[in-house]
Amino acid sequence: MSISRIPDAKVVLSSASVYPHGVAATFDLADRLGYDGVEVMVWNDPVSQEAGALQRLIDHYQLPVVSIHAPTLLLTQRIWGTEPWDKVDNSVRVAREVGADTVVLHPPFRWQREYAAEFVAGVAQREEETGIQLAVENMFPWRARQREMQAYLPGWDPVDIDYAHVTLDLSHTATAGSDAMAMQAALGERLAHVHLADGSGSFKDEHLVPGRGGQPCAQFLEALAARGYDGSIVLEVGTRKLDDEERELDLAEALAFARLHFAAPALP
């Protein structure tokens, strides 16, 4: 009889996985399927921007918001104004008000040169001042017609950049052609947050259900468990084109995959 140990990490549902439905629908699905909490992507859904509304959902469903994803995507460039640090600071404020310990953010776009020049120092300063960890996410080069563009500064790969906390997204490793296992090992304790998804390695950021692409999702989770990882594992799966029943089935499968593989043999 084999005995496994499961570290103290929450498996949570990103509101991006429920798009185009909003945060309220995310809480409902997370509660019914058995997730441990929610990550809120700040979007045009007003609930995602308002700590009071989020707190009412937390109280109703008795599920925590573990992280806030700052509106630093191309499609959220006008949420909370156009100044990038305002977006980060508002995300930190909401995180503190709802009891989340992490803000996820993307690195600056290359045309945001002033923001990029002070990004690493600005992230470190805000972490020190607020106690919230700002976990910068790995991205990927943009590719089209045999051409590649470096769209992010100081870079899309956070491994060699001086961030104290990093989010590792396995759909992004697929698109970038990165080695997810090597990145996990290189980041060590700096790996504070995981976006669990899959990808086939195409130029598109696919966010497939784990196990449906080419990423080593199972081995990645097993290695996390073996080292006693206690951050959050966030299912960020694309379901935009599915009906409600298909979405629920996919997100149930994604949760089951995470629960199954986030375990390691117990030490004697």
Cα dihedral 128/132/133/136 (nearest 10): -100
Give pLDDT tens digits for 154-168.
Answer: 999 999 999 999 999
Is residue 119 situated within a structural domain? Answer: yes
Residue 161, burial from CB neighbour count under 10 angstroms (0-12, 13-18, 19+): middle
| Percent of the chain predicted with pLDDT > 70 | 97
Any residues with CB less than 8 A from the CB of 135 and at least 6 apart, and which? Answer: 67, 102, 103, 104, 105, 163, 165, 166, 167, 192, 193
18 is a domain residue? yes
- Can you give the residue range of the structural domain that contains 37? 4-262
pLDDT in tens, 184-216: 999 999 999 999 999 998 888 999 999 999 999
Number of residues written out for the chain: 268
DSSP tag of 147: E
Number of domains the chain contains: 1
Residue 64 counted as domain residue: yes
Asked if pLDDT for residue 5 goes beyond 90, the answer is: no
With cut-offs at 50, 70 and 90, classify the pLDDT of residue 3: low
Distances (CA, A) of 170 to 3, 16, 257: 28, 15, 14
pLDDT at 1: 47
Kindly report whether the peptide bond that precedes residue 154 is cis, defined as omega within 30 degrees of 0. Answer: yes
What is the per-residue pLDDT across 46-100, written as a single tens digit (0 to 9) for each?
A: 999 999 999 999 999 999 999 999 998 877 878 998 899 999 999 999 999 999 9
The answer to whether position 132 is within a domain reads yes
CB neighbours of residue 262 within 10 Å: 22
CATH of the domain at 70: 3.20.20.150
CA distance 24 to 58: 10
Q: Would you say residue 268 lies in a domain?
A: no
Task: Confirm whether pTM is higher than 0.75.
Answer: yes
* Closest CA relative to residue 161, chosen from 199, 207, 208, 108: 108
Domain-located, residue 26: yes
The verdict on residue 46 lying in a domain is yes
Q: Is residue 267 part of a domain?
A: no
Confidence of residue 143 (pLDDT cuts 50, 70, 90): confident
